[in-house]
């Protein structure tokens, strides 16, 4: 189909030029000066058409689903809009209200706390487990499969499963605690524990990603370096500290930024486990946005919160990239 389009355009161009330069096809006129520019121009046009007919479908879909709604979201964020009645332009009021909204601030607190606690843990654990998995021992294929399987389980299924495993009455975890003679916990129903439990669940489904990325990086370390370190008498820990760890720095920056961005946007797991409860204790920023927009029909306010999150994410990412550049870690 793409080709058909091209050919017809090509024909059109030829036909348009036929008036004064009818013999173009034979190549005789092409030797004159005007003919040469014409051919060159036509060739460039055909190249442009070919290029765009290949690039346009994907480009249009992607920009249409990202840049266009992103611009629109900004317009909505400066409106008071319930989705039905005509929107009112209220300038930056949504943004200034947001700063004073205790619910929003609580959501930011939960999200930031979650990120600060979670990202270092996933980096250390991911690296450690990758180092453990990077060897040829018995059952290694089984270990890898077991640790990687959770990544294909959807957030919906993970959340429902977690509801069962952490059920205060029938759940497996409280059952284990009971056998060990430890006090029973409320887990997802306890406002003080809920974010920790969500972090554990998220770690279960998300750890495979950092392990896999670290594992790929470990396998890229030249064996000569390790061999040389061994020759110089480095023990296992010294090899890790002086050879492996430095070469994992770029990957650590990458995984760190990636995890930070995805954790700041944590939403689906909250939806399928607690709906932000109990008492709003697990309300995260994206859950707040979702709730404002789709439960309370405050689309303008929700969009403003979404933009605030985007701006924060962007600044944080740029800051981390700049920092890693300055410390000469070439992650990007």
Q: Which of residues 71-130 bind other proteins (CB under 8 A)?
A: 72-73, 76, 83, 129
Instruction: Kindly write down the DSSP assignment for every residue of 156-225, as one continuous string.
Output: HHHHHHHHHHT-TTT-HHHHHHHHTTPPP--GGG-TTTHHHHHHHHHHHHHHHHHHHHHHHHHHTS-HHH
Please identify which residue in 69, 120, 246, 319 interacts with other proteins, judged by CB under 8 A: 69
Alpha helices in 248-328 (DSSP H): 249-264, 268-273, 285-290, 299-326
Is residue 195 involved in binding other proteins (CB under 8 A)?
Answer: no
Instruction: For residues 102 and 92, give the distance between their C-alpha atoms in angstroms, rounded to a whole number.
Output: 18
Is residue 307 involved in binding other proteins (CB under 8 A)?
Answer: yes
Pick the closest to residue 106 from 2, 194, 215, 238 (CA basis): 194
**How many other C-beta atoms can be found within 10 angstroms of the C-beta atom of residue 48?**
10
Please identify which residue in 119, 127, 165, 248 interacts with other proteins, judged by CB under 8 A: 165
Please identify which residue in 199, 290, 320, 324 interacts with other proteins, judged by CB under 8 A: 290
Please identify which residue in 117, 151, 249, 331 interacts with other proteins, judged by CB under 8 A: 151
Is residue 194 involved in binding other proteins (CB under 8 A)?
Answer: no
Nearer to other proteins, 28 or 59 (CB): 59
Please identify, among the stretches 34-42, 97-105, 107-115, 289-297, the one whose residues bind other proteins according to the rule CB under 8 A.
Answer: 289-297
Q: How many residues does the chain have?
A: 332
Is residue 226 involved in binding other proteins (CB under 8 A)?
Answer: yes
Structure token pair of residue 229 = 């370190």
Please identify which residue in 13, 161, 177, 249 interacts with other proteins, judged by CB under 8 A: 161
What are the residues whose beta carbons fall under 8 Å from the beta carbon of 284, sequence distance 6 or more? 107, 110, 111, 114, 266, 267, 270, 276
Q: How far is the CB of 123 from other proteins (least distance, A)?
A: 14
Nearer to other proteins, 192 or 245 (CB): 245
Please identify which residue in 177, 209, 329, 331 interacts with other proteins, judged by CB under 8 A: 209
Is residue 154 involved in binding other proteins (CB under 8 A)?
Answer: yes
Q: How far is the CB of 203 from other proteins (least distance, A)?
A: 10
Please identify which residue in 147, 194, 253, 320 interacts with other proteins, judged by CB under 8 A: 147
* Region of 297 on the Ramachandran plot (φ > 0 left; ψ -120 to 50 alpha; else beta): left
How far is C-alpha 136 from the geometric centre of its chain's CA atoms? 32
Is residue 185 involved in binding other proteins (CB under 8 A)?
Answer: no
Identify the bridge partners of residue 88 per DSSP, sorted by sequence position: 80
Please identify which residue in 62, 228, 245, 296 interacts with other proteins, judged by CB under 8 A: 62
Nearer to other proteins, 24 or 49 (CB): 49
């Amino acid at each position: 189909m793409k080709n058909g389009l091209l050919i017809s355009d090509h024909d059109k161009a030829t036909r348009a030029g036929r008036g004064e330069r009818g013999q173009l096809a034979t190549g005789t006129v092409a030797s004159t000066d005007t003919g040469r520019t014409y051919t060159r121009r036509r060739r460039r046009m055909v190249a442009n058409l070919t290029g765009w007919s290949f690039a346009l479908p994907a480009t249009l879909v992607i920009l249409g689903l990202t840049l266009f709604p992103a611009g629109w979201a900004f317009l909505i964020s400066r409106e008071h809009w319930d989705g039905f009645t005509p929107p009112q332009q209220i300038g930056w009021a949504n943004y200034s209200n947001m700063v004073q909204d205790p619910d929003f601030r609580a959501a930011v607190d939960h999200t930031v706390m979650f990120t600060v606690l979670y990202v270092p843990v996933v980096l250390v654990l991911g690296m450690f487990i990758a180092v453990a998995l990077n060897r040829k021992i018995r059952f290694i294929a089984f270990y890898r499969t077991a640790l990687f399987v959770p990544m294909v389980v959807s957030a919906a299924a993970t959340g429902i499963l977690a509801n069962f495993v952490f059920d205060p009455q029938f759940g497996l975890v409280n059952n284990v605690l009971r056998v060990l003679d430890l006090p029973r916990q409320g887990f997802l129903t306890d406002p003080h524990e809920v974010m920790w439990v969500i972090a554990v669940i998220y770690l279960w489904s998300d750890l495979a990603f950092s392990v896999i990325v670290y594992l790929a990086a470990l396998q890229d370390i030249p064996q000569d370096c390790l061999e040389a370190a061994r020759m110089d008498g480095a023990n296992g820990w010294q090899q890790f500290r002086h050879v492996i760890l430095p070469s994992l720095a770029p990957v650590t920056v990458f995984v760190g930024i990636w995890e930070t961005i995805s954790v700041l946007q944590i939403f689906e797991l909250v939806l399928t486990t607690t709906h932000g409860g109990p008492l709003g204790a697990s309300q995260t920023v994206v859950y707040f946005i979702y709730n404002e927009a789709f439960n309370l029909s405050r689309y303008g306010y929700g969009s403003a919160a979404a933009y605030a999150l985007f701006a924060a994410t962007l600044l944080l990412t740029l800051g981390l990239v700049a920092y890693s550049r300055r410390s000469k870690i070439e992650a990007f």
